[in-house]
A and B are shown apart, each in its own frame.
Chain A
Amino acid sequence: MIVSNIEFIPGKKITKHLGMVQGNTVRTKHLGRDIMAGLKNLVGGELVGYTELLTDARQEATDRMLAQAEGIGANAVVNVRFSTSSVSAGAAELFVYGTAIIVE
């Protein structure tokens, strides 16, 4: 599966458009990480726990999108966009969407 955030796959010809595919996940942090982040908020700097959490969550959203694309027979997804929104206090939604296509 080829993924790209430009409108085509360089070096490949698009033979069919299959429409939009998307994947999302809502995550919240666990207490241990929250306490560590609270301490880190005092001294400043990177919150490694949150960085990992968001990386994992985004990976899962991407996997869901790719599974959906595979399900409709695509072999590439183009024009991929990420979006983040906070649903409630302490929970974030990671959303990724793109256009499923078939390339030769």
Chain B
Amino acid sequence: MQDLLFFLLLISVGYVSGSVIERRHFASIREREAELRHILTFSAKTPPPEDCHRESAFVTGNVVISVDYFKHITATLRNLIGGRVIAYETLMDRARREAILRMKFEARAKGVTRIFNVKLETSSISKGRANQIGSVEVLAYGTGLI
């Protein structure tokens, strides 16, 4: 009985704080994305030839984000029946957008206006551990032109 209560407590704490933190994070992401919209990112490998006389700078941004306990449980249940795992979709979305934003902040500090060959790398840093709640690292990097 006590175990069940503890479990329910963990789930409700996870649900409440997790959704508050996620909502705030998305609001902050949207705000900063609007602020940094003037820094353009391209996945094109090389800049156009007419810009090739400019100085370049290497820029990176990374973030580690973890899901909350509630989402972990819903994702585990989802595993039984299959289908979309929305809990993890938003996690990945947040992590990628945050990493790109941090890269853009570094770019702004270096006076970069456009970033070429943007690469995103994702790694799960808690791999290989049993019962470990998913946390994910995203790294964004590219070459900026000043």
A→B interface (CB under 8 Å): 2-11, 37, 40-47, 50-51, 54-55, 58, 80-86, 88-90, 92
Tell yes or no: B123 within 8 A of A by CB: yes
| Cβ contact within 8 Å between A44 and B119 | no
Asked whether A46 and B63 contact (CB < 8 A) given A4-B143, A86-B123, the answer is yes
A47 to B138: give the CA distance in the assembly, Å: 12
| A4, A5, A9: the one within 8 Å of B119 (CB) | A5
Known interface pairs A6-B46, A89-B129; A83-B121 also in contact (CB < 8 Å): yes
**Residue in B25, B128, B133 whose beta carbon sits within 8 Å of that of A89 in the complex:** B128
Q: Which residues of A contact B145 (CB under 8 A)?
A: 10
Could you tell me if B117 and A5 are in contact, using CB atoms closer than 8 angstroms? yes
Inter-chain CA distance A96–B32, complex, in Å, is: 29
Report the Cα distance A41→B133, complex, angstroms: 6
Interface size range on B against A: 35 or more
Q: Given A5-B141, A54-B137, A88-B128, A10–B69 Cβ distance below 8 Å?
A: no
A44 near B58 (CB under 8 angstroms)?
A: no
Please, which residue of chain B has its CB at the minimum distance from the CB of A51?
B64
Is B125's CB within 8 Å of the partner chain A? yes
A41 touches B142 (CB 8 A): no
- Residues of chain B within 8 A (CB-CB) of A90 are 126, 128-129
Chain B residues within an 8 Å CB radius of A47:
64-66, 135
**Can you sample 22 A-B contacts with CB below 8 Å?**
A2-B56, A5-B119, A5-B142, A6-B47, A6-B117, A10-B51, A41-B66, A41-B69, A42-B13, A43-B14, A45-B25, A45-B66, A46-B66, A50-B64, A54-B137, A58-B60, A80-B58, A84-B123, A86-B128, A89-B129, A90-B128, A92-B123
